[in-house]
Structure 1
Amino acid sequence: MSLAESWDRYAVGSTPRRTVNARGETTWLNWTQYADHGPDETLLGSVVGRRVLELGSGSGSNLAHLVSLGATGLGVDVAPARETVARERWGELPGLEFRTAEATAFLDETAEMFDVVLSIFGAVWFIEPDVLLPLIRSRMPLGGVLAFSHLPPGGQEPKAAQAGLRHDRAPGEWRRILAEHGFSDVTTSVIGPPEGESVSTMLVRASAA
């Protein structure tokens, strides 16, 4: 089974994101696996007029939120089912588009530059950093923002589609790896789970140097 087929099978079985959160908002950004938990998009600074790329965009909900705030966005996901769902839900939102592609292939082929690159439980977690990070950096201007989240090392057993794929890194490792590949001002944090849950989320932000 190919990578795309594996993730497509996983995508088809996932639960769709709800249409309204606890605050009554129809779009929002969620860095963690828990609803209504963790920081919001202010980590990125203002996104007005900025070009945003999300690698592993899933149903498109996080990217749609940033576009609703004034960004333009491109979501890339390896699973065709993800693009279908994202287009059905957000296809009429101006300034937002989705594409089915493997992240490294897309970055290697595109000529576009992106002010912000996101990976929320996405490609940064599943692709060898020494391969992916140079490609990301090559598509960002000086001062561009890379932000990503994933489970901390050992945080949870991977699902079948993820087995053997995850590139878990501790905070110190991410700071070193990102610096080696052209990023600075690296901040890492571990977001504790909400009450009654046990799994935290690692959140990393860096600037293109």
Structure 2
Amino acid sequence: MTDTAIAWDTYSRQRPERRPVNSRGETTWFNWTQYEDHGPGAELLALPAGGRVLDLGCGKGGNAVHLASLGMQAVGVDVSPVQLRAAAQRWGEVPGLELHHTEAIAYLQGDRKPFDAAYSVYGAVWFTDPDLLLPVLREQLRPGGRLVFSQRPPVEGCYGCQASYIPRGNDEDPLVVKRWDYEPAVWARLLTEHGFSDVRVRVLEAPPGARKVGTLIVEARASHP
């Protein structure tokens, strides 16, 4: 197992499970932000009926399962076997859902049927070098296919490759994973350079009463060759 997989396994054990139902009484739902019942939903992906969609860093599968419940062909990839086992235990065999234990770039380098959209919610797009990820991702999207991802906005003055620390026991050093933090204008430039267009980058404010950390949401389309 790679150090990255160990880190995300550790992180998974520290995270609470997704609630059985949300505030609307739904058993599946899509959430882009770090806050419950906040922000837009799956409509950002603009998927056609029965569309094929890729979740980069699917974790325990909640968002992908929701898309499968809507009739989409949802494919999730994650490096953490603990996360994927949790997904299988909770959701079981869901029609239209595929989960793969692999890294994002390794999966995208395979010969695959194109996707209508791809997304990442605090997932692999945040934790993978965009100069390596975006070109191979662009190749796996249909022309005009949507890429949407969300992550925490960058801390002022701390841009580019940064370190995220995942705590362990009191007598153990934290585990470290790399993340890529950029200001909106830089994300727009990077996506354009790697074959995307119609780029929109915004920071969605936190809900009232929450910690005042919003959510960076990036939307783009794969340009025609």
Return the TM-score normalized by structure 1: 0.94
Assess if the C-alpha contact under 8 Å between 1:53 and 1:75 holds in 2: yes
Aligned to 2:216: 202
Cα distance, 1:26 vs. partner? 0.8
Aligned to 2:100: 99
Measure, in 1, the Cα distance between the counterparts of 2:99 and 2:108: 14
Cα distance, 1:46 vs. partner? 3.7
Aligned to 2:149: 148
Assess if the C-alpha contact under 8 Å between 2:4 and 2:177 holds in 1: no
Cα distance, 1:58 vs. partner? 0.7
Measure, in 1, the Cα distance between the counterparts of 2:189 and 2:47: 27
Aligned to 1:192: 205
Structure number with higher strand proportion: 2
Aligned to 1:160: 166
Structure number with higher helix proportion: 1
Structure 1's 121 and 42: CA in aligned 2 closer, same or farther, altered over 3 A? same
Assess if the C-alpha contact under 8 Å between 1:47 and 1:66 holds in 2: no
Aligned to 2:140: 139
Letter in 2 for 1:128: D
Within the alignment, does 1:63 sit opposite 2:69 as a pair? no
Q: Counterparts of 1:40-59 in structure 2 under 5 Å?
A: 40-59=41-60
Q: Could you report, residue by residue, the CA deviation over 1:44-98 in whole angstroms, capped at 9, with x for unpaired residues?
A: 2244211011010011111111111121111100100111111122222101011
Within the alignment, does 1:122 sit opposite 2:123 as a pair? yes
Give structure 1 stretches of 5+ with no counterpart: none
SS of the residue 1:67 aligns to: helix
Quote the RMSD (CA, aligned, Å).
1.8
Measure, in 2, the Cα distance between the counterparts of 1:119 and 1:110: 21
Assess if the C-alpha contact under 8 Å between 2:10 and 2:166 holds in 1: no
Aligned length: 209
Aligned to 1:11: 12
Q: Counterparts of 1:16-31 in structure 2 under 5 Å?
A: 16-31=17-32
Aligned to 1:182: 195
Structure 1's 79 and 152: CA in aligned 2 closer, same or farther, altered over 3 A? same
Measure, in 2, the Cα distance between the counterparts of 1:96 and 1:158: 30
Structure 1's 27 and 47: CA in aligned 2 closer, same or farther, altered over 3 A? farther
Return the TM-score normalized by structure 2: 0.88
Assess if the C-alpha contact under 8 Å between 2:46 and 2:146 holds in 1: no
Give structure 2 stretches of 5+ with no counterpart: 168-174
Letter in 2 for 1:177: L
Measure, in 1, the Cα distance between the counterparts of 2:102 and 2:202: 30
Measure, in 2, the Cα distance between the counterparts of 1:19 and 1:164: 30
Measure, in 1, the Cα distance between the counterparts of 2:201 and 2:47: 20
SS of the residue 1:97 aligns to: strand
Greater gyration radius: 2
Measure, in 2, the Cα distance between the counterparts of 1:82 and 1:91: 13
Identity of aligned residues (%): 47
